[in-house]
């Protein structure tokens, strides 16, 4: 079994995963997901759905999103084209790292993936034009259970790679509550 490189980013359950790439004159081959290998590194989620997004403009911010029970989702995020600054925020009230965030640069070039368990808000900012993000989830999408956290809440201390004035953000994402006003969805 070929285990990927794993970096634990300081928030319980968040993993930066870099699968091995086998390169030659033609390009490369990489096994991006193998259930047995991922279980070996602690990812036991049963992924049931794949999602794929395209963001045309650099500086596009998507997030910070999550779903609540019974449709709370763990995610395995990677970039197929372009690059993102990927963000996860701990919204588990009983966690010692509640309200803290981590960021990672995911790109088609570096092949890195971010595993984000349920109990975290997730978002990203595109760093290149025509960025395509692909992610696996372990629960289906449910509009009724979708929630969000304000992406630019100063209390989170996220250093986004784009100023608020230059960000391409949906009004819905701008209207989400700050951490201080967020209900305790995950205890």
Average pLDDT over residues 46-72: 98
Residue 37 has pLDDT above 80, yes or no: yes
Supply the mean pLDDT for the chain.
97
- Give the model confidence (pLDDT) of 119-166 as tens digits: 999 999 999 999 999 999 999 999 999 999 999 999 999 999 999 999
Among 9, 49, 17, 39, smallest CA distance to 134 is for: 49
CATH of 5-176, one of 2.40.420.20, 2.60.120.10, 3.30.230.10, 2.60.120.260: 2.60.120.10
65 in active site: yes
The domain locations on the chain are 5-176
- Give the model confidence (pLDDT) of 168-179 as tens digits: 999 999 999 999
How many CA atoms within 13 Å lie on the side-chain side of 119? 16
**Per-residue DSSP letter, 168:** B
Three-state SS across 81-95? ECEEEEEEEECECCC
The pTM of this model reads: 0.96
Distance CA 186, CA 184 (A): 6
Q: 3-class SS at 156?
A: helix
Percentage of the chain surpassing pLDDT 90?
A: 98
52 in active site: no
Q: Which of 65, 81, 141, 145 is catalytic?
A: 65
Q: Which of 81, 98, 135, 145 is catalytic?
A: 135
- Give the model confidence (pLDDT) of 13-28 as tens digits: 999 999 999 999 999 9
């Amino acid at each position: 079994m070929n285990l990927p490189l794993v970096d634990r980013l300081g928030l319980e359950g968040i993993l930066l995963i870099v699968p091995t790439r086998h390169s030659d004159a033609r390009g490369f081959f990489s096994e991006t997901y193998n259930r047995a290998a991922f279980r070996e590194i602690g990812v036991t989620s049963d992924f049931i759905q794949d999602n794929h997004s395209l963001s045309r403009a650099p500086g596009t911010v998507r997030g910070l999103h999550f779903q609540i029970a019974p449709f709370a989702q763990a995610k395995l995020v990677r970039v197929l084209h372009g690059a993102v600054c990927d963000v996860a925020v701990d919204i588990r009230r009983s966690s010692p790292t509640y309200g803290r965030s981590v960021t990672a640069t995911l790109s088609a070039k570096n092949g890195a993936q971010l595993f984000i368990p349920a109990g975290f808000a997730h978002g990203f900012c595109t760093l290149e034009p025509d960025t395509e993000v692909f992610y696996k989830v372990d629960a289906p999408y449910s509009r009724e259970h979708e929630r969000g956290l304000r992406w630019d809440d100063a209390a989170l201390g996220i250093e986004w790679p784009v100023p608020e004035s230059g960000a391409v953000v949906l009004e819905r994402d701008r209207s989400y509550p700050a951490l201080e006003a967020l209900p305790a969805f995950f205890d």
